[in-house]
Amino acid sequence: MSTRVLTGITTSGTPHLGNYAGAIRPAIAASQQPGIDAFYFMADYHALIKCDDPARVARSRLEIAATWLAGGLDPERVTFYRQSDVPEIPELCWLLTCVTAKGLMNRAHAYKAAVDQNNAKGVEPDDGINMGLFSYPILMAADILMFNAHKVPVGRDQIQHLEMARDIAQRFNHLYGREYFVLPEVVIEEQVATLPGLDGRKMSKSYNNTIPLFEGGSKALRAAVMRIVTDSREPGEPKDADASHLYTIYRAFATPEESAAFRTQLETGLGWGDAKQALYDRLEGVLAPMRERYQDLMANPGRIEDILQAGALKARKLAVPFMQELREAVGLRAPAPAAAKPSAKKAGKAARFVSFRDDDGAFRFRLLAADGQELLRSQGYANPKDAGASLQRLQAGDAAGMLQADGLTYAAIVDGAAVAHGPAAHNPEQRDALMAQAREALAALAGR
């Protein structure tokens, strides 16, 4: 069973070294793991809450997309899209807004912090607070629930928003009598690097202490590294590596062996100037190839746009039918009438198996319904004879016993092993309906 993971980055600025090490790099690494169905998006609607500069939002959308791609994100492997290119997300946001208690939003940390600041200033509690800030957690819930993500990696400051998303999903499911939404699980990645900035505090634009990732090229990178605050110990004096911001950043971009060697140099008296040069050399070695790809992408925004539109199309293949199901649930659409089953004489194509060779060279087969919908897709086989043998055994087996639920999909089991899987469903009810359709198709092909 695949695990759907979803994360987004707000498009309100230019990515820096801390963004890359803390969010982008681990997300790209996670997307390359087997069994991960990754959804990564640019949260440009969220950007409007705190940025009213259209040029900055537009530029940031390009820069963040180019950064992900330059860092190694494979858009063929993941679903990579802009939030604003999936109109079903704000529509779902409204449905969720209508079932969310105002009291829940009153407890949101960001809203409470803004009210506390206003109280401290002696102004009205809601002075300067817009509805975007107030209802931000509902839009975040829509981002997650639209694709029924199983796991959502977040920082500790976002845990409350995930808990709210679960509360909202449970409320909707309860009101409308079905498990429409999966309850997402929060993922706190303790091993992900949180980089110190130039002054030792967490690297953040809020503190103006960031190290540029690509902006300004190698000169800007070196200039920032040389501004990192150090203590007054002279060359030849032992340095405390664990208390050094230089060492913390170096370790985030080096192997354990390289980090150990750098620690030894510091503890045996390496001068701060030489240490900063070593850190710059290490960062430049990692970032230079990515910077070249980034600059090429930024010079060709049409390529970025093509990738994002393809990602939005992939996302909407799930969002559009799911939104139709949710509209019916709340009474905005009448349920579609059941189509009359055609007689055997009038029926067109029947359910069928189709064999093919995948882009990776593997031989596979799939079971298609009469209308062309995919009901099963096999694992890959190096030899077409092996694929054909599995197909024959599947076709000749007991359809009722071979198909078994597997999370939000289902598997075809032959001799105790899964040889094929059905498509991922949004909820158990949809999965069971697809599995029943697959059983009927297998039984028809077997002549039963």
> What residue has token string 């002075």?
127
Indicate the helix (H) or strand (E) that contains 409: strand 409-414
The closest of 72, 66, 73 to 299, measured between CA atoms, is 66
415 known ligand binder? no
Q: Is residue 416 annotated as involved in ligand binding?
A: no
Q: CB–CB of 440/370 below 8 Å?
A: no
Q: Does 202 carry a binding-site annotation? A: yes
Query: What DSSP character marks residue 112?
Result: H
Distance of alpha carbon 350 from the chain centroid: 38
195 is in an annotated binding site: yes
156 has binding-site annotation: yes
Residue 435 vs residues 1, 81, 408, 411, 423: alpha-carbon distances, Å: 15, 30, 11, 9, 10
8-state DSSP, 61: H
How many angstroms separate the CA atoms of 125 and 106, rounded? 12
Beta sheet of 3-10, edge-to-edge order: 79-82, 36-43, 3-10, 151-153, 185-187
Q: How far apart are CA 262 and CA 241, in angstroms?
A: 9
Q: Is 84 annotated as a binding residue?
A: no
Other C-beta atoms lying within 10 Å of the C-beta of residue 183: 15
> Quick count: other Cβ atoms within 10 Å of Cβ 280?
17
| Cα 132 from Cα 99, distance rounded (Å) | 17
Secondary structure in 3-state letters for 224-276: HHHCCCCCCCCCCCCCCHHHCHHHHHHHHCCCHHHHHHHHHHHHCCCCHHHHH
Q: Is 233 annotated as a binding residue?
A: no
170 Cβ contact partners less than 8 Å away, ≥ 6 residues apart: 183
Q: Which residues of 258-272 are buried (b: 16+ CB within 10 A; e: fewer)?
A: ebeebbebbeeebbb
203 is in an annotated binding site: yes
Q: Determine if residue 206 is labeled as part of a ligand binding site.
A: yes
Is residue 44 part of an annotated ligand binding site?
no
First-to-last C-alpha distance (Å) of the chain: 29
Contacts of residue 86, defined as CB under 8 A and 6 or more positions apart, other chains included, come to 146, 312, 315, 316, 319
Round to whole Å and give the CA distance between 369 and 366: 10
Is 12 labeled as ligand-binding? Answer: yes
- CA pair distance 343, 321, nearest whole angstrom: 28
CB distance 326 to 92 below 8 Å: yes
Binding residues for L-tryptophan: 143
Binding residues for ATP: 10-12, 18-19, 155-157, 195, 202-206
Binding residues: 10-12, 18-19, 143, 155-157, 195, 202-206
